[in-house]
Structure 1
Amino acid sequence: MGSERVRRWESGALAHAVTDPFGQGPLPWLRGSELYFDDTGRMVPWYVDTPPSAGATSPRATATATAPRIPAPRSSDDGPWPRSADDVHCQIKGYASTGSVAPGEAIDFHVTVNPPQQFSVDVYHIGHYNGDGATKITSSPRLSGMSQLPPLAADRTVSCHHWWLSWRLPIPSYWSSGAYVAVLTTVDGHRSHIPFTVRATAPADLLLVLPDVTWQAYNLFPEDGRTGASLYHAWDEDGRLLGEADAATTVSFDRPYAGSGLPLHIGHAYDVIRWAERYGYDLACADARDLHAGRIDPTRYRGLIFPGHDEYWSVPMRRTVELARDQGTSLVFLSANTMYWQVELGPSPTGAPHRLLTCRKRKGPGKPVLWREIDRPEQEVLGIQYAGRVPDPHPLIVRNAGHWLWEGTGAGEGDSIEGLVAGEADRYFPRAPLPDHQDRILLAHSPYIDEAGVLRHQDTSLYRAPSGALVFASGTFAWSPALDRPGHADPRIQRATANLLDRICKRE
């Protein structure tokens, strides 16, 4: 096992750059303002990163380069600093006992530390916070860290359900619904993350649904060249990365996320949350498994927002969302390739519900698991559906510029919004059934070149259901980053999205 290969695994590159150029995104939550005391008593910033390449010359790269930066790493003789743990050495890694928790309940963290040493947990609430992106809510005391037993693996399914409890966090009744992240830091300066959600219990105008089912489908933990597996990849005995045919069919939520501990595509949700709070929207949060388990009633909200790549849906998830739409709750899909695979959620070996995710894809006998192959194409909900990958970003071409969605954006008919068709794209399929609707319109129709060099088109869709609910689908991965991602934010997309949410929330 060569050192170059190990460095690739340690970097998280395999877990966090699968198909989406906007998947992880920057995490400038506190811009280096939060400091920790290390074990020598010296103060060090909680998050460090290297500055952008000095050779960056593209408009987007230049915008990123001029944005506020967090401090660069210190030299090795300038003392320790927080640095990301990796899946090879597992300096510190952990997972939460549940994806979402209600105020008044408690969430358990299961953490392994190598070598055993003390660590602490700092909990941050994601939001705008005057541009910081998050604020620290609480901290643990110094905790005794232990090296937990290695992950268990059975038929490519990797689980750490046997890890001992490390810290229990009671959620006070006054905590706001939203996205949170627990930052784990060892005394010798290694860091990892555990995301979780405080789900909605109080009324709100909008409910943002975090796609934790899709996050887990892509999770390759442990990215160690031996054990880790996702629904996309696994390893052979020589440490080579195998493709989908040899990947797992069942993955467990009882394990950390690979790399930094933050899932692929989580940056999309953070972009939407920061922007929505800055614009003053009344926003609550839940995760996809809350829809599956019936822990929330989506008809209590004026609209549901799906902020990022949300590819894997169970039957209860889809049924719940369709029922909400048919009772007047609007739906906003800000990415592409949504509701593509049908999945099942089952209990863990300990009996905890909804902790195993199964999607057989095309492996072995049984019914197809693409929604469109069981005569329930995703276009019946979204108005468009998945068309394919976009290898290089292309412009989004405005269509029907006189529509109220484009009002005040300055966008004219046929105008280009650079880089907005990226990652993956949806389009209208004439042979697939459309949802029942009062009216329907395409608001972008954008050519791009696919992986085979063939000309394709992306569409952005909006329709009004018979209930009066609006259903919007951006048809591209790049819409959410255009709301608040440094180097990608676009005022035309910001205004168009505000026009949409204002209609939904009756703020016009």
Structure 2
Amino acid sequence: MAGVRRRRALGLLALGASAATAGALWPTAATSDRRVVPSRFGSAPTGPVASPTGPVPIVRENQAPGSTWPPGDSGRPPVDDRRRQIQGYASATSVAHGETIDFHVTVDPAGPYKITIVRLGWYGGASARELLTSPELTGGPQPVPTPDPRTGALACRWPVSWTLRVPDDWTSGLYQAIFTSAEGWRGYAPFVVRDDRRAAALCVVVPFSTYQAYNLWPLDGTTGRSLYYGYRDGVLDYERRAFDVSYDRPYAGDGWPKHLDRDQDFIRWAERQGYDLSYATTEDLHSGRLDPTRHRGVVFCGHDEYWSRPMRVAAERAVAAGTSLAFLAANSVYWHIRLKPSTDGRPDRLVTCYKTDPDPEADAAGPTTHWRNVAPDGSDAEQGLLGIQYNGIVPTPQPLVVASAGHWFWAGSGVTDGDRIPGLVGGEADGVVPGNPRPTGVTGVTLGTAGYRTRYKQQRVQNTHLYETPQGGVVFAAGTLFWTMALNRAGHRDERVERATANLLERMARSR
């Protein structure tokens, strides 16, 4: 970028240059006093928050030798959902140290296979680290279930193929199980390892509820269902979509969920910088396994579109308590969902969203539809949390026009008002929607804008937005699906976006 050399733009990013350096960057006080503060859903009970001490686990982890990700060419075309050469799913979206997670695998033709566990991160650019491989296992074909006649749910009841106990020394992060057949076919299943023992400064939330909403397994032209589509005469049809989708099934194709690339862009970048991170999933936020107030900030790094009422309440109470939130995509908190148990009673194994159809199961949380339509008066609109909300699909990427260049968010980036960051606004966009609620009692600022025309030729204005709360936290909404691409992805990286994101995370990590 003009006038800003890389060492100047990224000089403060290297938080993890060494464990000792990283540890010194955090406040030294053992605790900070916190008050009980109100939220729109009641008081947020707050206790002392421990400051991270000692070496940052992410720094130590990324000093280990890495493995190339994605794995090298197997000489095979990708796994497909018609033959299902090897596919599998995990029994949970996240697991803590000492807990077990099951994998359920189909293999066709029947024969031996292995399961390798890798952790995704930076690792000197290799992007993964191989941790262990199962003994040789033997498997065979498993059936595709019949869709539920009422909801369209496809829930596999395949037997357990292998059980993993998570070692106590594994670093919290996004993991992949790799299923490899004797013939060289390869499939994946993602999961998160939590660290319930230590409150990192920042917690990264991986949006498994959104992954599952988009999952059209099996992508076979006949049977597959997602919350978007089913098949009618071999053609995708919205009216044939499912109202329930199950976690008990593989992700379509080779098992890499749609939109996970956006999360990986952030993870590679943030772990390269050595931030003090731990990981959780949207299901952890829903269930209470993740208490956001234990952390100074929570990062929603991907396309985080599907939220339950408990997720929303937890986030809003965290903001009221002074926790910072960063939404590094667009179209966040867009659909209201319920999470329901599986038929055998395991909690949170079905995502329910009736979308534009009447919800026959609506409960006290409201119908499963757009958040802005849950309450008749629009008071649940996502803009009340985010400061902006989804306003359209961007057919052609647009430049973000910098605003408020003197704000701390842009410090050190070398930008001035009116500078254009090319191609940063793309995919989907958020903006201010008049008439919907906005956060009150806060200090808000627009950091960038982009004009665009939707695919229906409607004129819209995108906003990148941030507000600061009286309790000392910040809430940032990027307002574009391309933000994390600008942190890491070849052909998209922009040092101005890197510097601004570093300013944001450093402020979040020191809040409260």
What is the TM-score with the length of structure 1 in the denominator? 0.83
**For residues 257 and 201 of structure 2, what CA distance do their matches in structure 1 show?**
27
2:135 is aligned with 1:141: yes
Amino acid at match of 1:446: A
Q: How does 1:481-500 map to 2 (within 5 A)?
A: 481-500=485-504
2:194 is aligned with 1:199: yes
Task: Say which SS state the counterpart of residue 420 (structure 1) adopts.
Answer: strand
2:410 is aligned with 1:416: no
1:469 is displaced (CA, Å) by 1.1
Task: Say which SS state the counterpart of residue 135 (structure 1) adopts.
Answer: strand
1:369 is displaced (CA, Å) by 2.0
**For residues 33 and 132 of structure 1, what CA distance do their matches in structure 2 show?**
6
2:239 is aligned with 1:235: no
Amino acid at match of 1:428: V
Equivalent residues of 2:119, 2:173 under 8 A apart: yes
2:399 is aligned with 1:399: no
Task: Say which SS state the counterpart of residue 501 (structure 1) adopts.
Answer: helix
Equivalent residues of 1:388, 1:424 under 8 A apart: yes
Equivalent residues of 2:67, 2:126 under 8 A apart: no
Equivalent residues of 1:87, 1:258 under 8 A apart: yes
Sort the Cα spacing of 1:392 and 1:105 in 2 relative to 1 into closer, same or farther, 3 A: same
Amino acid at match of 2:444: R
After superposition, give the CA deviation of every residue in 1:329-388 in whole Å (9 maximum; x if it has no partner): 100000000111111010111111100111011213654622111121101100101101
Amino acid at match of 1:283: L
1:33 is displaced (CA, Å) by 6.4
2:305 is aligned with 1:301: no
**For residues 246 and 147 of structure 1, what CA distance do their matches in structure 2 show?**
27
2:357 is aligned with 1:363: yes
Equivalent residues of 1:158, 1:227 under 8 A apart: no
* Paired position in structure 2 for 1:449: 453
- 1:266 pairs with one of 251, 255, 260: 260
Equivalent residues of 1:461, 1:473 under 8 A apart: yes
1:395 is displaced (CA, Å) by 0.6
1:153 is displaced (CA, Å) by 1.5
After superposition, give the CA deviation of every residue in 1:258-300 in whole Å (9 maximum; x if it has no partner): 0220111101111111111111100100000001111122111
Equivalent residues of 1:438, 1:464 under 8 A apart: yes
2:221 is aligned with 1:222: no
Task: Say which SS state the counterpart of residue 257 (structure 2) adopts.
Answer: coil
1:160 is displaced (CA, Å) by 4.0
**Count, aligned residues:** 436
1:142 is displaced (CA, Å) by 1.3
Amino acid at match of 2:120: I
* Paired position in structure 2 for 1:112: 106
> Which consecutive unaligned segments of at least 5 residues does structure 2 have?
1-63, 361-366
- 1:432 pairs with one of 436, 441, 444: 436
Amino acid at match of 1:422: G
Amino acid at match of 1:107: I
- 2:285 pairs with one of 262, 286, 291: 291
Amino acid at match of 1:226: T
1:404 is displaced (CA, Å) by 1.0
Task: Say which SS state the counterpart of residue 123 (structure 1) adopts.
Answer: strand
**For residues 405 and 461 of structure 1, what CA distance do their matches in structure 2 show?**
11
**For residues 209 and 46 of structure 1, what CA distance do their matches in structure 2 show?**
25
Sort the Cα spacing of 1:403 and 1:172 in 2 relative to 1 into closer, same or farther, 3 A: same
Q: How does 1:303-342 map to 2 (within 5 A)?
A: 303-342=297-336
After superposition, give the CA deviation of every residue in 1:122-167 in whole Å (9 maximum; x if it has no partner): 1111111001111111111111011112223213534343101111
Sort the Cα spacing of 1:160 and 1:368 in 2 relative to 1 into closer, same or farther, 3 A: closer
Amino acid at match of 1:213: S
Amino acid at match of 2:327: F
* Greater displacement, 433-442 / 281-290: 433-442
Amino acid at match of 1:91: Q
After superposition, give the CA deviation of every residue in 1:214-245 in whole Å (9 maximum; x if it has no partner): 11000000001111000101011x212112x3
Task: Say which SS state the counterpart of residue 426 (structure 1) adopts.
Answer: strand
Task: Say which SS state the counterpart of residue 319 (structure 1) adopts.
Answer: helix
Task: Say which SS state the counterpart of residue 363 (structure 1) adopts.
Answer: coil
**For residues 462 and 34 of structure 1, what CA distance do their matches in structure 2 show?**
36
**For residues 368 and 98 of structure 2, what CA distance do their matches in structure 1 show?**
41
* Paired position in structure 2 for 1:12: none
**For residues 33 and 371 of structure 1, what CA distance do their matches in structure 2 show?**
41
Sort the Cα spacing of 1:142 and 1:160 in 2 relative to 1 into closer, same or farther, 3 A: farther
After superposition, give the CA deviation of every residue in 1:417-450 in whole Å (9 maximum; x if it has no partner): 1110000000012321211233110001111121
CA RMSD of aligned residues (A): 1.9
**For residues 296 and 220 of structure 1, what CA distance do their matches in structure 2 show?**
28
**For residues 128 and 218 of structure 1, what CA distance do their matches in structure 2 show?**
27
* Paired position in structure 1 for 2:392: 388
* Paired position in structure 2 for 1:210: 206
**For residues 286 and 303 of structure 1, what CA distance do their matches in structure 2 show?**
13
**For residues 506 and 84 of structure 2, what CA distance do their matches in structure 1 show?**
46
Equivalent residues of 2:193, 2:279 under 8 A apart: yes
Equivalent residues of 1:437, 1:464 under 8 A apart: no
* Paired position in structure 2 for 1:280: 274
Amino acid at match of 1:222: P
Amino acid at match of 1:304: V
* Paired position in structure 2 for 1:372: 372
> Which consecutive unaligned segments of at least 5 residues does structure 1 have?
1-29, 36-44, 49-79
Sort the Cα spacing of 1:365 and 1:185 in 2 relative to 1 into closer, same or farther, 3 A: closer
Q: How does 1:135-214 map to 2 (within 5 A)?
A: 135-155=129-149, 157-201=152-196, 202-214=198-210
2:47 is aligned with 1:47: no
Equivalent residues of 2:337, 2:368 under 8 A apart: no
Q: How does 1:53-68 map to 2 (within 5 A)?
A: none
Sort the Cα spacing of 1:470 and 1:34 in 2 relative to 1 into closer, same or farther, 3 A: closer
Equivalent residues of 1:113, 1:145 under 8 A apart: yes
Amino acid at match of 1:456: R
**For residues 253 and 300 of structure 2, what CA distance do their matches in structure 1 show?**
24
**For residues 478 and 490 of structure 1, what CA distance do their matches in structure 2 show?**
11
* Greater displacement, 94-103 / 197-206: 197-206
What is the TM-score with the length of structure 2 in the denominator? 0.82
Amino acid at match of 1:449: R
**For residues 139 and 239 of structure 1, what CA distance do their matches in structure 2 show?**
39
* Paired position in structure 1 for 2:474: 470
* Paired position in structure 2 for 1:38: none
**For residues 144 and 507 of structure 2, what CA distance do their matches in structure 1 show?**
51
